[in-house]
Amino acid sequence: MLRLKQTASEKIRNFQTSHISRLKGFTLIELLVVIAIIALLLGILMPALQRVKKQARSSACKANMHSWAQIWNMYCQDNDGYFGTEEDSLGWARGTWIIALRPYYRTKVGILICPTAKKRLDSMDNYGSFDRTYIMGTGGFEDRREEASYGANCWIYKPLPGQTAIQNRPTAFNWGTADVRGTGRIPLFGDSMWRGGGPFYMDGNPQSNRIRPPDFNGQWLGAAYEMMHFCIDRHNSVTNHAFLDWSVRSVGLKELWTLKWHREYNTMGYWTKAGGAQPGTWPEWMRKFKDY
């Protein structure tokens, strides 16, 4: 009987010894294999996660654009269908829209900023970049200076009586109202590194600072370089814009030159496929983008 108990005890010890020996852990090779598999999975998943994050930011930006489209619509309706009145004193410089629209967005300053461009540049300059905000000018309620990363099409405004030009842009080209044809191709408001812009072929010159593309993403040469304000790679080769029919969509960077910015704007000008532009015509950083 004792021998049987000992045998049973021995069996238990032998089982425990055998079980423990099997639980000693991974070998170095096994650990390296596991690490390699984890690294491989991360390498596969991280780009996908980054794309999802960028898409989420772009979608949030579009949501902001929808809000701005409604704000501009309300302002226009409150002023007899015009972007401005004969009595106002705004003058409609590039950033004056911030004053006109403050009563409509009030304290919701968050919609001034694109989720992809939420931080300021390190410098003290007022301008922004493709992923940075700019500082709005002074004026209006409490003389506020908001940060923003959107800008307006400066050709939409109704000029004041006798006003023939606004910042060297002839007011004869201005839309003045949303009651026009082709509103789905007329930019209203969108991603920008400055308060606004009025692109045009000044004297037909495709290299005029008013129309030519930037030499690199986020290039700043001054407020008068009108198209550069909007030509920024903010959402993976596109930017988001609201249009004069109050719609919102993404716009390819080269597509910007085909939009109907003002009444006399040539949508088949030099910087378009119809105008003869080839991939090699563009600055090097833009040659990979879709042609229009």
pLDDT per position as a tens digit, 183-201: 999 999 999 999 999 999 9
Is the pLDDT at 241 greater than 90? The verdict is yes
Indicate the pLDDT class of residue 53, thresholds 50, 70 and 90: confident
Which comes out higher in pLDDT, residue 185 or 85? 185
Strand partners, 226: none
Residues 61 and 14: their CA atoms lie apart, in Å, by 67
The pLDDT value recorded for residue 2 is 43
Is the pLDDT at 123 greater than 80? The verdict is no
Is the pLDDT at 99 greater than 60? The verdict is yes
The pLDDT value recorded for residue 287 is 97
Pair 206, 24: CB distance under 8 Å: no
Residues 104 and 98: their CA atoms lie apart, in Å, by 10
Strand partners, 240: 250
Is the pLDDT at 140 greater than 60? The verdict is no
The pLDDT value recorded for residue 1 is 46
Let me know if residue 291 belongs to a domain.
Answer: no
Residue 225 belongs to what domain range?
Answer: 27-286
Which comes out higher in pLDDT, residue 145 or 117? 117
Let me know if residue 236 belongs to a domain.
Answer: yes
Let me know if residue 70 belongs to a domain.
Answer: yes
Is the pLDDT at 141 greater than 60? The verdict is no
The pLDDT value recorded for residue 136 is 87
Let me know if residue 89 belongs to a domain.
Answer: yes
Let me know if residue 12 belongs to a domain.
Answer: no
Residues 97 and 33: their CA atoms lie apart, in Å, by 60
Is the pLDDT at 18 greater than 60? The verdict is no
Least confident segment among 20-29, 74-83, 119-128, 208-217:
20-29
- Give the number of domains in the chain: 1
Residues of the chain with pLDDT > 70: what percent?
86
Residues of the chain with pLDDT > 90: what percent?
65
Let me know if residue 49 belongs to a domain.
Answer: yes
Looking at every residue in the chain, the average pLDDT score rounds to 88
Residue 189 in 3-state DSSP?
Answer: strand
Give the global pTM. 0.82
